[in-house]
Amino acid sequence: MGGKDLTIEICGMSGDGTIAAGQLLNAALVNAGYSLLAFDSYPAEIRGFGRCVTHSRVGSGKMIALKNKAHVLISLDDQESVSRIPFLDTDAVVLFDNKPMAFLAENQSIAAHVEPEAKLIGVPFGDLSAGATGSRQGRNLVALGAFAGLFGVLPEFFNKAIEKKFSSKGKPVVDSNLACFQVGYQHVLEFYKEDISGDLGEASVHENKDSFLISGNEAIAMGALDANVHFYFGYPITPATPVMEILAEKLPKRGGKVMQMEDEIASIGAVIGSFFAGKRAMTATSGPGFALMTELIAHATVTETPAVIVNAQRGGPGTGLPTKTEQSDLQVAVYGGPGDSARIVWAPTDVQECYEFTLRSFQIAEKYQTPVILLTDFFLHNRVESLEKLSSAAEMISDGNLYPAEEKINAYKRYEITETGISPRALPGSEGFIFSATGLEHTEKGRPDYSSAIHMQMSEKRHRKIRGALSDLPPPVEYAPKGQLDLGIIAWGSTFGAALEAVTQEQEQGKRIGALKITSIFPFHEEVISAFMTKCREVLIPELNFEGQLANLIGHLHGKKVKRLNQVTGTPLTPWDIGEAIHSILKVLD
């Protein structure tokens, strides 16, 4: 990746305004025209204690992954920030409050822990905030001002972000935040002249002037809105809750409704009921909630009722790591539930795809009359990216239902065996198209029938239908030079960006290496994947799970064992992590 490329972390304790500072930083840098990818991590507890960290990668080119090392650390709480030191570049810039309220014992300051090559920038965050506003609460804004001064970000970009964020709280709040920012900015100009790098200065401003910031959560909500969803039923759970919060604000304005249900079982039940009645609906949950939904997902499979479910994966098993990212629900998404309940599972790899896949999930669910699971993760939901536009084409959101022909009136078979496995679907109340739907195995007319012949026939029909959905699902995308490869990386979900960046770096070094992006998890494009594997001496599948769940699903397509990189640290894989694995594999090959 050429051009500027800077990773900035802000670390503090809950209540320090860390996340708010990160949001302002991101907004300001996008205002300044930079491309950005950012992600927050915070404690599982509601408030009061625990470490909050924001990560922002900013630069001139498109940012597709986080880096493993930060170039800048803004410490709003030294005790917490010490934990970030192993993740800093050796010559990182560390901004910290050099005038804490009380004297510190040895090693209580972050200054005691940074590497001597690091550039320590002490700014009296609290004192300057108190001087500007009478309160030390604006420390985070002072820190942002100091950052802007050091790196040459024009104050107008921050001012715009501050005004936007705080305008609803009134002018005094806006003014005090602006004042805190300004004193931090001036302090650096006055006392750190020699350290001003201007790395994010005017020269590159407006490279991406039309871009805007959007999170994975917002993209999913926007996708649902643009697909004309009528109902959202959900039960709060990290990291999916913001989807419900966004829709709660916006959906009623479009004539829809958001209902918080008593649990996830009720949520999926309501989604199925709504689709059964012909109205688009969705729910979003995470692993523990998804586990509760599996019986009704199977019910939707057997009744051939559409449903759209977002599973925002987080660290498991069980309640696990509620505020950490993981990709360990692939198996439950594909196989979870009683019986052979094949369903469609697809996984976006970035925020743009979060929007597009959500948008299209409704149509696909309707067309194939089956649950569509959008398999995302904490990193995708909580990250923000600068994008240039989100657009929906009419053909992506149009009604996906295949209605029965008029001549079938009074002879309608709801579960008619067809070549594609798709039975024309009548909605309840369609005159002359009477049918029954049941979770029991049934005949083409929908009457319960447990005979082995019917069960064989219907099982085959439902699976044929799911296989046929491949034509509507995006095929894997290959990023590789022509010809044989020493190593192929196959990645999915939020890990793909890191894999692609790692592969690109190796390709630039002349390595025969390629990447394959898989978004259709089930059904998957067996032939394309197999063809890619065939031309690779080795195949590596990096995943944020312990068991290698995608590797278990597709690994058999390779002539020999695929290599695995499995990480369950609760943090995203970085290009560096994958690069290390690549190097060790290539070393053996050499």
Residues that bind other proteins (CB under 8 A): 96-100, 102-109, 111-112, 115-120, 122, 194
- Taking the C-alpha atoms of residue 526 and residue 515, their distance in angstroms, rounded to an integer, is 16
Q: How far is the CB of 94 from other proteins (least distance, A)?
A: 10
| Other C-beta atoms lying within 10 Å of the C-beta of residue 580 | 14
Give the number of C-alpha atoms closer than 13 A to the C-alpha of residue 368, restricted to the C-beta side: 30
Is the CB of 12 or the CB of 575 nearer to other proteins?
12
Q: How far is the CB of 110 from other proteins (least distance, A)?
A: 9
Which residues, 6+ apart, have CB-to-CB distance to 450 below 8 Å?
440, 441
Is the CB of 110 or the CB of 240 nearer to other proteins?
110
Is the CB of 112 or the CB of 440 nearer to other proteins?
112
Is the CB of 119 or the CB of 511 nearer to other proteins?
119
Is the CB of 82 or the CB of 550 nearer to other proteins?
82
**Token pair in block for residue 254:** 């479009």
Q: How far is the CB of 147 from other proteins (least distance, A)?
A: 18
Residues for the chain: how many in total? Answer: 590
Q: What is the DSSP string of 258-312?
A: EEE-SSHHHHHHHHHHHHHTT--EEEEE-HHHHHHHHHHHHHHHHHT--EEEEEE
Q: How far is the CB of 99 from other proteins (least distance, A)?
A: 7
Pairing of strands 212-215, 384-387: antiparallel
Q: How far is the CB of 204 from other proteins (least distance, A)?
A: 22
Q: How far is the CB of 52 from other proteins (least distance, A)?
A: 22
Is the CB of 112 or the CB of 411 nearer to other proteins?
112
Which residues, 6+ apart, have CB-to-CB distance to 451 below 8 Å?
none
- Taking the C-alpha atoms of residue 68 and residue 70, their distance in angstroms, rounded to an integer, is 7
Is residue 586 within 8 A of residue 486, CB to CB? The reply is yes
**Token pair in block for residue 500:** 């692609």
Q: How far is the CB of 97 from other proteins (least distance, A)?
A: 8
Residue 202: closest CA among 252, 169, 135, 153: 153
Residue 379: closest CA among 569, 148, 570: 570
Is the CB of 76 or the CB of 375 nearer to other proteins?
76
CA 56, 95, 25, 55: dihedral to nearest 10 degrees? 20
Residue type, 484: Q
Q: How far is the CB of 93 from other proteins (least distance, A)?
A: 11
Is the CB of 104 or the CB of 411 nearer to other proteins?
104
Q: What is the DSSP letter of 195?
A: G
Buried b (16+ CB within 10 A) or exposed e, 491-505: bbbbbbbbbbbbbbb
Is the CB of 109 or the CB of 182 nearer to other proteins?
109
Is the CB of 111 or the CB of 417 nearer to other proteins?
111
Q: How far is the CB of 473 from other proteins (least distance, A)?
A: 52
Q: How far is the CB of 82 from other proteins (least distance, A)?
A: 13
